[in-house]
A and B are shown apart, each in its own frame.
Chain A
Amino acid sequence: MKSTLASALILMMGLIVTTVPSLGHHSGAMFDNTKTITVEGVVKKWELTNPHSWLWVDVKGKDGKTVTWGFEAEGPSTLLRAGIKPSDFKTGTALKITGNPMRNGEPAAIWVDAVRTSDGKKFDPRAGFAVK
């Protein structure tokens, strides 16, 4: 009886561990850094936030349907060090963007680089870690 109760308790603890959300500087384990995807689209939203920023990009598929992709990058100060400013991605800005995709196939990726269509400017978020 005792062991049944203990097992139930352990199971409940396990469920708690898997359901308590955390909001912070997470590992990138959900992304597959051995793969890259590249999409072309227009900026839907540009969230410069800590600890991670998100660039939302509307991508029109061959079937005509639009899917919103999220590209995750570091926070504002690291992006500023990479020369990426709040004004760079106004809503509707066309771009080609590359990232390491989610392992589970969801439309999101770690942002690796991007090229803005209007002027060909390149954006490499990881350049923000360079010390110069």
Chain B
Amino acid sequence: MRHKKAFIVITTLLALSLLLSACAQTAETPGGPPAAVAPTRTREQNIELGRQHKTAEDLFKALREEAKGGKKLEWNRMPDWSGIYSRPLDKGFNFDVDQPKDQPSSAKLTPEYQEKLVKRIADVKRGIEWDPISTCAPPGVPRWLTEPFLREWVVTPNQTWLINEMVNDIRRVYTDGRDHVPVEDRLPTPNGDSIGFWDGPRLVLHTNQLKAGIYQRGNPDYTDQVETVEIWQKTDDKTMSVEVWVYDPPALVEPWYVHHTYLKLSDPPRIQYWDCGENPNNVVVQTKEGTTAFKDLNFSDEKQKGKP
């Protein structure tokens, strides 16, 4: 009798462990939302994956084929990406967080863009720096990934919104099966045009039609031919993770693979409207030397009246 009970307990535990193991592999909870999973490839494998595909579009299509087209989300089976997150800055501002501080960029740049980067770093050491977002322009993609402010992810079956509080910046990722805007009607914008699909708990997306910019202060430039493939996922209850492949033939000799994580804040403030132009003391000009200077800094109430 005792042996029979033990047999039932062991069999039940074994069945449960097999079920949990199957769920972890498929990243699906039967009847429930997709579960959080760890990334499936190593950094080296991801770098190699980028090299195997000539364009971002090719990589995106390969990932879609691997996922058998992906599976559309349904309102009763949604991943829980709620909460407010931010990018930890313990590894600095570099676009590649694995790149040690004060080390050369891990991007394999073309000679022209390598030269630009060397000059930028030398200028910063001399106190000369101009940031293109001094105009209140949005950071744009891919720089969007590196900003240190508050973030939210809003998931719906047909669209996912990737939100950065800075300048009220929203990336809309269409997951309803639509394609990119036809080539003849494309209009480059800071955040470009993003389409994606769901591979279990992972959002896989492709962004094109972007504008030129910089990856971050002290980092390389990218051109208006830049495109990204990103795989977003929640890797545990407090961590959002993204794997990124950047393709930009004029500036990059090969795709640049990086990953970023964003951690959930335990007691975040509310996200409020970000009026970038509200304070005249933040007005700057670019000097002849190429650096940043305040236009008319002053701390007199009278002088500030009537300013833009």
Residues of chain A touching chain B, judged by Cβ–Cβ distance below 8 Å, are: 14, 17-27, 29-30, 32, 44-45, 47, 49-54, 56, 68-70, 75-78, 80-81, 103-104, 106-108, 129-132
Contact = CB atoms under 8 A, between A and B. Distances in A.
Nearest to B275: A50
Contacts of B128: 29
Given A51-B276, A77-B271, A21 B283 contact: yes
Nearest to B289: A18
A77 B150 contact: yes
Interface string B141-170: 000000011100000000000000110000
B287 interface: yes
A29 B86 contact: no
Nearest to B150: A77
B269 A21 contact: no
B143 to A, nearest CB: 11
Determine chain B's interface SS by DSSP, over half rule: loop
Report the interface size class on chain B.
35 or more
Interface stretch (B16-24, B190-198, B205-213, B291-299): B291-299
Contact of B135 (A19, A23, A27): A23
Contact of A108 (B275, B287, B297): B297
A131 B266 CA distance: 9
B89 to A, nearest CB: 5
A91 to B, nearest CB: 12
Given A23-B282, A49-B275, 18 more contacts: A18-B286, A21-B308, A23-B276, A24-B137, A25-B134, A26-B284, A27-B131, A27-B134, A29-B124, A29-B128, A29-B130, A32-B127, A50-B279, A51-B276, A52-B281, A68-B300, A77-B165, A77-B269
Nearest to B136: A24
Given A22-B283, A23-B282, A24-B282, A129 B89 contact: yes
Interface of B: 86-89, 124, 127-131, 133-137, 148-150, 165-166, 217, 263, 265-266, 268-269, 271-272, 274-288, 291-295, 297, 299-301, 308
A19 B295 CA distance: 8
Contacts of B165: 77
Contact of B268 (A30, A53, A81): A81
A23 B288 contact: no
